[in-house]
Amino acid sequence: MSVTVIIAILVVAFLAGMDGILDEWEFQQPLVACTLIGWLLGDVTTGVLFGGSLQMITIGWMNIGAAVAPDTALAAVGAAIWVCGPAHLTVAEGLAIAIPLALIGQGLTVIVRRLVVKLVHYAERSVRQGNLNVITRVHLLSLTLQGLRVVIPTALILLVPTTLMQTFKAGLPHNVVMGLAVAGGLLAVVGYAIVVNMMATKWLWPFFILGVVLAAITALNMIALGLIGLALAIIYVQLQSQTRPPSGPDDEMDELDRELEDL
Amino acid sequence: MTSANNQMPKTLTRPDLFRLFWRSSFEQGSWNYERMQNLGFVYVMMPAIKRLYDTPEDQRAAVLRHLGFFNTMPYMQSTITGVVANMEVQRANGSQLDDQAINNVKVGMMGPLAGVGDPIWWGTFRPVLAAFAAGLAQGKASLIGPLLFFFGWNIARLTFRWQSQKVGYSLGVTITTKTGNLLPKLTQGASILGMFVMGAVIPRWTSIEMPTVIARVHAHDQLEQLTLQNVCDRILPGLVPVLLTLICLWLIRKRVNPIWLMLGILVLSIFGYSIGLLGVK
């Protein structure tokens, strides 16, 4: 690995780390991060393939309110280095290793989020003393810390000798290797469960059932299924606003009022 | 306040509004466990504060009144920033809006907007787009998958941030009465779409194989083996993944950490393969 490639990988790690807190540009998502790492390591195909598989697992990981989800940034960058790089782990092995990395990343972002409390106090004191530029500086410093919390572990991952990873890989029993491949196809259900858990209220379950059943018709691709879902949503919302008595008459009154005013 | 009468009314220029918009994409950078997005909100507001208030004392007061607790779904912050910027313009021009009034609007909007933004952006749009793009990426390792995800997401996000900030800025506090009716409908529609798509994605994009042969049948003059997987598929395609999802859902509602569920699936997969119950297609 040349120095340029190493620096470029650390830049991707920095972007992913910053986006781990921002949740804006999506550099922390496996589809983006693994593709970039694969591209830098000269194997973009594996990067895309692994990114797609890891994305399916992390699909339900989201930061809501004050809750911190497992970290996709370190998981995606770290595991992609081992899958696309000279260690050549399989996609399934990469997925298995991504899970502990996600937990480490989660722990690190929690530490930074605590640390930033102190920085914000410092900023508030400085503002009271008349220094306003401190706001932008402290904000960007905190963001940099979030980037570094992925850059530093990534650098450590790059330091792990390839031979060590290959010895580790060769030492895995056959049943474990195949079991990991089985798990690769199944792990996504946890993510789906998280998403469903967030949305599900009693009246929504019929739509879930419709989705499951219609998915069995293989002639319908995902775009067609998405359009059916969209149509169902629009129909439901329209019917409901028509049948709900309190909003109906009010709207009519408003329209009458407006027409009277126009006259 | 006397100076406000003999000067041009203060306002935000288009570049100012663009600066607020640009900074919004970094709003959560200083997220912290105490007052969460408080510093981030001030960071976004800085260009407006510097434009609207001339004296260091007024600027400092504006910064300090926005350092209170703030947390919402990040993309919904643009609406709030627009509304708050509108109020700050009024205040800078001599209106009687006090700190409490501005803060009440901020705090009053953050909860309901997060309630709409979380299920739509995190709960529906991202899983749907990611699942769709990941399907493309897994199948033929097509670069279209990641590109679609990255550009699709960012175009939608940036358009929404710019438009909602604009609407918030032009409507001000009246936005709550004007859009109050629309938000529940939008959440409802998005939840329906999300649940439907999740229902469709689970059987399509989960792969499981149970190769245990449980019967041998004669069909078309040939001896056909009927595996456990065949039987499940005949009951309903995707039956096992859907059941697994429902079990995970039940455990998550029992407050089991999802990471334990994943480790559990890893262990079960290895065990299942060892005893021959689970296989690879």
Q: What is the pLDDT of residue A244?
A: 61
Query: What does the pLDDT average to over A148-157?
Result: 98
The residue among A43, A108, A120 with the most chain B CBs within 10 A of its CB, best to mutate, is A120
Does B280 fall in a domain?
no
Are B197 and B266 in a shared domain? no
According to DSSP, residue A172 is labeled S
Same domain, residue pair B112 and B236: no
Q: Give me the number of domains chain B comprises.
A: 2
B279 within domain boundaries: no
Say if CB B149 and CB A32 are below 8 A apart: yes
Q: Are residues B187 and B216 in the same domain?
A: no
Answer whether B114 touches A (CB < 8 Å).
yes
Please indicate, yes or no, whether residues B13 and B42 belong to a single structural domain of this protein: yes
Chain B residues lying within 8 Å of A233, measured CB to CB: 188-190, 192-193, 196
Residue B68 is assigned to a structural domain of this protein: yes
- Domain shared by B69 and B182, yes or no: yes
Together in a domain, B120 and B242: no
Q: What is the pLDDT of residue A263?
A: 46
Q: What is the DSSP letter of B30?
A: G
Residue B205 has a pLDDT of 83
% chain A with pLDDT above 70: 92
Residue B220, pLDDT > 80, answer no
Q: State the average pLDDT over residues B198-207.
A: 88
- State the best of A113, A135, A238 to mutate against chain B, taking most chain B CBs within 10 Å: A135
pLDDT in tens, B249-275: 999 999 998 888 999 999 999 999 999
Residue B186 belongs to a domain: yes
pLDDT band at B206 (very low <50, low <70, confident <90, very high): confident
Structure-model confidence comparison of residues A135 and B237, the more confident one: A135
A112's tokens:
């930074």
Mean per-residue pLDDT, B107-118: 89
Q: Which residues make beta-bridge pairs with B32?
A: B36
Distance from the B161 Cα atom to the nearest Cα atom in chain A, whole angstroms:
11
pLDDT digits (tens, 9 = 90+) for B122-137: 988 898 899 889 888 8
Amino acid at site B243: L
Which of A238-252, B33-47, B91-105, B241-255 is the least confident region? A238-252
**By the 8 A CB rule, do B138 and A56 touch?**
yes
% of chain A with per-residue pLDDT over 90:
71
CA distance A23 to chain B (A): 8
Same domain, B216 and B106: no
**B181 & B231 share domain:** no
Mean predicted lDDT score pLDDT of chain B: 90
- Which residue, B202, B221, B253, sits at the end of a domain? B202
Is the pLDDT confidence value at B39 over 70? yes
- Could you tell me if residue B218 is inside a domain? yes
Rounded mean pLDDT, A154-173: 92
Query: What is the pLDDT confidence band of residue B219, given thresholds at 50, 70 and 90?
Result: confident
Could you tell me if B171 and B251 lie in one domain?
no
Query: How far off is chain B from A243, nearest CA to CA, in Å?
Result: 14
Q: What is the pLDDT of residues A180-197, one digit of tens each?
A: 989 988 998 998 898 898
Chain centroid to Cα A153, Å, comes to 19
Radius of gyration for the alpha carbons in chain B, expressed in angstroms and rounded: 27
Q: Which residues of B touch A212 (CB under 8 A)?
A: 199-200, 202-203, 236, 238, 242
What chain B residue is nearest to A238 in terms of C-alpha separation?
B185
pLDDT digits (tens, 9 = 90+) for A44-88: 999 999 999 999 889 888 888 888 999 999 999 999 999 999 999
Distance from the A156 Cα atom to the nearest Cα atom in chain B, whole angstroms: 24
Structure tokens at B242: 């859907």
User: Is residue B171 predicted with pLDDT exceeding 80?
Assistant: yes
Identify the top-confidence range among A129-143, A236-250, B198-212: A129-143
pLDDT at A177 over 60: yes
Residue at B59 is within a domain = yes
B281 occurs within a structural domain? no
Confidence of residue B183 (pLDDT cuts 50, 70, 90): confident
pLDDT tier at B7, thresholds 50, 70, 90: low
Q: d(Cα A199, Cα B121) in Å, to the nearest integer?
A: 12
ipTM confidence: 0.89
| CB B245, CB B202: distance < 8 Å | yes
Q: Give which of B214, B194, B213, B197 is closest to B205, Cα–Cα.
A: B197
Output b/e per residue, B156-182; b: 16+ Cβ within 10 A.
ebbebbbebbebbbebbbebeeebeee
Cβ contacts below 8 Å, chain A against chain B, sum to 352
Residues B91 and B216 in one domain: no
Nearest residue of B to residue A61, measured between CA atoms = B122
Contact across the interface for B208 and A185, Cβ inside 8 Å: yes
**pLDDT score of A198:** 83
B227 Cα to chain A: minimum distance (Å): 17
**Which residue from B30, B204, B269 is facing A179, i.e. has the nearest CB?**
B269
Q: Tell which of B187, B202, B217 closes a domain.
A: B202
Residue B172 lies in a domain: yes
* Cβ-nearest to A138 among B39, B146, B198: B39
Predicted confidence (pLDDT) at residue B139 exceeds the cutoff of 90: no
Whole-number pLDDT of residue B4: 46
Task: Tell if the CB–CB gap between B29 and A143 is shorter than 8 Å.
Answer: yes
Q: Per the structure block, which two tokens stand in for A245?
A: 């008595």
User: In terms of domains, do B231 and B135 share one?
Assistant: no
Neighbours of A252 (CB within 10 A): 10
Same domain for B165 and B229, yes or no, is no
Q: Hey, are the CB atoms on A135 and B63 less than 8 Å from each other?
A: yes
CB B86 within 8 A of CB B172: yes
CA-CA distance, A193 to B243, in Å (whole number)? 11
Tell me the residue range of the domain where B158 lies: 2-202
Which residues in chain B are contacts of A179 at CB distance < 8 A? Answer: 266, 269-274, 278
* Domain end position, chosen among B172, B202, B232: B202
Rounded Cα distance between A142 and A161, Å, is 32
Confidence (pLDDT) at A195: 87
* pLDDT higher at B183 or A104: A104
